[in-house]
Structure formats: C-alpha cells, structure tokens
Amino acid sequence: MRSMFLAATLLAAAAPFVVARAQTEPTPPPAPPAPTPAPAPAPAPVAAPEAKPEAKPEAKPEAKPEAKPEAKPAPESPAAKPAPTRAAPASPAAPAAPAAPAAGAAPGAAPAPAAPPAPAANPITRFAATKKSGCAARMLPLAPGNQWTYIEAPGSRAIDLKEAAQLPNQPKKVVISVKDYVTTAGVATVTLEEQSFLKLEEPPRTLTTTITCGPTKFDIALESFFFAGEPGGYWGLEMTGVERKGTTWNLLRGTLPDLKWREDVTVTWKRVGVGGSGRLEMEREFVPEERQQVTTPSGIFNAEPLAIVVTGRVFVDGAAPGAEPYGFKEGMTNRMWLVDNIGAVQVENSFGHRYVLLNAKLAR
C-alpha cells in the first residue's frame, strides 16, 4: 500500500509504478385418455329411466365443481394481493442496504465505501477540561482529551478501477486524539495521536503528529490527517528538513479569514530500504468558500469549506544534468468543512476519498 500523494509522487519519481449449465430432461408425454371414455358404452344399454339420472348427475356435478372453483379463486385473489403489497415496502429497503455494497456495483468503477449512517441527534459530547486548549483556534479546538472519529463515505466523484489501482487504500475509520502540549516562548507544540483502521477488525496504524501554533502561525505536520485529509502518514519514506514559507492555517482571531492565502513547503525525502532521495517543493493555496450545510452521522452543520489547491514538483538526487523535475498532476485539490468549536466535520482529499465525522468528545 502506498501513502499520501506525496509518497505516491515520490515513488513514481524514483521508479515507474509496478504495480454450470443445467440440463433439462424432456418431459414424458401424458398418459393416453383412451381408457377414460371406455365406460361410455356401458351406460348405453341401460334403460331409459337410468339414462335420465345419469344426465342429471352429470349436469349437477359439472355445475357444482365449476361454481366451487370459481368461488374459491375469488376469495383467494384478495389473499394473493396482500403478498405483493408487503413485498413493495421490502424493495425500497433492499436498495438502501445495497448502498453499502453499491460500494462498487457500477461496472468499471472502483468499490465505493458504504454510505454513512443516517444523521442522529448530535452525539458530540462535552467534558470538563483539565487543561485549556494550547492554541487559540476555534476552527480546531486542541484541549487535551479532545477526540474526533471519522468514517469513510462516498466521495463527490467516481473513481474507475485503473485510477483506484494507483491510489492508497482508504481507511475505514480514523480516530484523532489530543494528548498534550508544551509552550515555549509563546509557541505551543500540540501532540496528537492518529489511528487509521484499514480494517475495523485489525489493529490500527498509529502515528504521533504535531501542530505548532503561536500568534502568527498554525503549522500542521505533513503526515497529519489535518494537513490534507490524508490519513496514515508515509510508507517507506523519510521526510526531513521541512521548511515553510507562510503557515498552514492563516487564522484571524482563531477562525478562517475571507481572503485566500498560500503556504510553500520544501522537504528532503529518502526512500527506505530501496534507495533514492531528493527534494520536494510544494505550493498550497488555501481558498475559503461559501458556507455549506453538511450532513454527517454526528449531526447537520453549517460548515465553512476550505479548498486546498496543490501544485509541486519532485527533484531526484543523481538525475542527469538539466533533467526536469517530476511535476504533481494538475487539479489536485483537498477540501475541509470546518465548524467553530468543533473542527473538521467532513474532509475530501485529492484521491476522492471522503471522511465524515462520526462523533467527537470535546472539552467545554
């Protein structure tokens, strides 16, 4: 499994992607009906008075059995009608259940994740804080003990199988917890624990990430889910020497401003175990968008979308003189839907993977 788009791009830069027929027996013909009419000649020699009773019983039994079967189907037909009536409600339920498998039923499309549960009463719980938030950020409250749980959800675009083969696997669930923070010279470093569950029945991949905040900055570690909505960190890569120009979130009084801003990131990379190293340059333009109503399992929110448009290039050590760097693909956009005093309630990354807030535990 590959990691975030950074890892995928770097891997591509250093080396190309390696990525009963049932048999039916003939039905035997019915027995000949010849023996049935044979008794007819016997009644012929019988006396005329006997022929009359024979004609009468023949007319009566014929009328009676015909009347009875006709009377029987009449009451049976109403009994047969309720059956389809009950089946009809079941059919709407059936399409709803397949919404989970619809996760890929479309031909030529990659399996889509199960739809999130129907919204319930907001299950966000509040607890008494033992330590106030380390950062004055209403868009992402960072008091120790705060926790967000996200689950996969269908994205806004279809992903075909060819594209899906080049993408990292999408975790079923992501749990992020604020562990603690330390403050030095007015700058707080907040420690997060991030767990990504590729399969719910298996142990998660756990990362320790940081957010550094101060009066003029709010820097999110590159491997954090909150950096680009891509959980799980890197696989087979070491990223060191991170340099930033600008900051991740250019907050104004703890919330998002109306104007867009940009963060430039330069980082040194190295492939673990297989060799290869170089430098990565990345530009991230943040574009605040008009508020949108977002429906999640944890409730319905009037959220502020924040689009992150990414461009960049990868340089490889030892490349031929004058060799061009490997550029990021065009149109890479991540998007987060943020709510004051709650954080991200929905995220969709450039892979088309979407996550929605299942529940949260936040300090009052």
Mean pLDDT of 58-87: 42
Helix, strand, coil percentages, rounded to 5, for the chain: 20, 35, 45
Could you give the percent of the chain with pLDDT greater than 90?
54
Answer yes or no: do 202 and 67 share one domain: no
Answer yes or no: do 318 and 173 share one domain: yes
What is residue 111's predicted lDDT score, i.e. its pLDDT? 54
What is residue 169's predicted lDDT score, i.e. its pLDDT? 86
Where does a domain end: 57, 79, 101? 79
Query: Confidence class of residue 120 from pLDDT cuts 50, 70 and 90?
Result: low
Answer yes or no: do 62 and 185 share one domain: no
Domain tally, the chain: 2
Answer yes or no: do 136 and 261 share one domain: yes
Has residue 100 been placed in a domain? no
What radius of gyration, in Å, describes the C-alpha atoms of the chain?
A: 35
Backbone angles phi, psi at 98, to 5 degrees: -55, -15
What is residue 125's predicted lDDT score, i.e. its pLDDT? 94
Answer yes or no: do 72 and 182 share one domain: no
Answer yes or no: do 198 and 140 share one domain: yes
Has residue 36 been placed in a domain? no
Has residue 148 been placed in a domain? yes
Has residue 318 been placed in a domain? yes
Answer yes or no: do 215 and 66 share one domain: no
Higher pLDDT, 35 or 162: 162
Mean pLDDT of 35-44: 44
Cβ atoms within 10 Å of 279's Cβ, excluding its own: 15
What is residue 93's predicted lDDT score, i.e. its pLDDT? 36
Higher pLDDT, 12 or 239: 239
Which residue range forms the structural domain that includes residue 57? 48-79
Answer yes or no: do 65 and 185 share one domain: no
What would the two tokens of residue 130 be? 């033992």
Residue 138 in this model has a pLDDT that exceeds 90: yes
pTM for this one?
Answer: 0.68
What is residue 112's predicted lDDT score, i.e. its pLDDT? 58
What is residue 168's predicted lDDT score, i.e. its pLDDT? 81
Has residue 74 been placed in a domain? yes
Round the average pLDDT of the chain to a whole number and report it.
77
Answer yes or no: do 220 and 156 share one domain: yes
Q: For residues 68 and 107, what is the distance between their CA atoms, to the nearest angstrom?
A: 53
Has residue 88 been placed in a domain? no
Answer yes or no: do 52 and 193 share one domain: no
Mean pLDDT of 40-58: 44
CA of 153: how far to CAs of 82, 102, 187, 301, 353, in Å?
37, 12, 36, 16, 8
Where does a domain end: 28, 60, 79? 79
Residue 174 in this model has a pLDDT that exceeds 90: yes
Answer yes or no: do 336 and 234 share one domain: yes
- Beta-bridge partner residues of 180: 191
Has residue 273 been placed in a domain? yes
Strands 354-363 and 125-127: parallel
CATH number of domain containing 137: 2.40.360.20
Q: What is the DSSP letter of 122?
A: -
Residue 54 in this model has a pLDDT that exceeds 60: no
Which pLDDT tens digit goes with each residue over 277-301?
999 999 999 999 999 999 999 999 9
What is residue 115's predicted lDDT score, i.e. its pLDDT? 60
Has residue 104 been placed in a domain? no
Answer yes or no: do 70 and 148 share one domain: no
What is residue 214's predicted lDDT score, i.e. its pLDDT? 94
What is residue 155's predicted lDDT score, i.e. its pLDDT? 87
